[in-house]
Amino acid sequence: MSTPPVSVHTITSESKRIIKQHSLHFKVLGVLFLVPITYSIFIYPILKPQLLLDQKIFLFSVVKFAEVVGFDHHDYSSPYFLWFGLVILIVYLFVLVYLEVKWSLVPVIVVVESSWGVKALKRSASLISEYKSMGLSLYLTFLMMTGLSVWNSSLASTTFFGTDFDDKWDVALVFLSLTTSHLLMLVFLTSAVVNTVLYIHCKVVVDGERNM
């Protein structure tokens, strides 16, 4: 059985149609379940100490791994160590994106098929196998949209309010946080619907081949 001619445009068009037909339903779900998450994502970049703590944890991991492979302390400022850290970062990002795409259908599988744990991970990897490039395109698109939203809100908050937020939680900042949360909520809702539509197409292809 050949793979049906499904494109990214087909997936996104079907998703938009579904969201439009059930817009109120999705808005209610978004307010109930996604607003707390999106608000936290907006607040996180403002918490500079915590953000720096995560960058230090990653650097600490790179340093320790460098010591294991033979770097000495006096080598940490050398170009070789910088290239080594860059390679580690690229490999880390590659593995992260690969797993995100491979397991992108797990939330849908958990709900629709009542499958959990390793079984859900294997099921997602099996279903997405026919549409890996499409899954990658959709993942990178929504990742970019999320990143741009967070970056713009963080830049705006820092520009207007500086880095000291102790006495500046006024109406403007609340408005900015609510606007960003709403935008991220729309991105997450669209991503969830897109993954569900992609799951349906993948299921038709994979299960259809197995049933022949």
Kindly report, residue by residue over 28-48, the tens digit of the pLDDT: 877 777 777 776 666 665 555
- Helices then strands (H, E): number in the chain? 9, 0
> What are the structural domain ranges in the chain?
8-47+104-210
| Sequence-ordered list of residues with C-beta below 8 angstroms from that of 88, at least 6 positions apart, any chain | 62, 65
Kindly report, residue by residue over 64-118, the tens digit of the pLDDT: 666 666 666 556 667 777 787 788 888 888 999 999 999 999 999 999 988 888 9
H or E segment and range at residue 117: helix 117-128
Which one-letter amino acid corresponds to residue 40?
S
Structure tokens of 67?
Answer: 């010591």
Structure tokens of 24?
Answer: 């109120």
pLDDT for the residue 161: 57
Q: Choose between 144 and 57: higher pLDDT.
A: 144
Whole-prediction pTM: 0.74
CA 142 to chain CA centroid, nearest Å: 7
At residue 136 the predicted structure's pLDDT band, cuts being 50, 70 and 90, is: very high
pLDDT for the residue 53: 46
Alpha-carbon span 71 to 141, nearest angstrom:
38
pLDDT for the residue 104: 92
Alpha-carbon span 37 to 33, nearest angstrom:
8
Unique residue bearing structure tokens 């439009």: 20
Are 134 and 14 a contacting pair, CB within 8 Å?
no
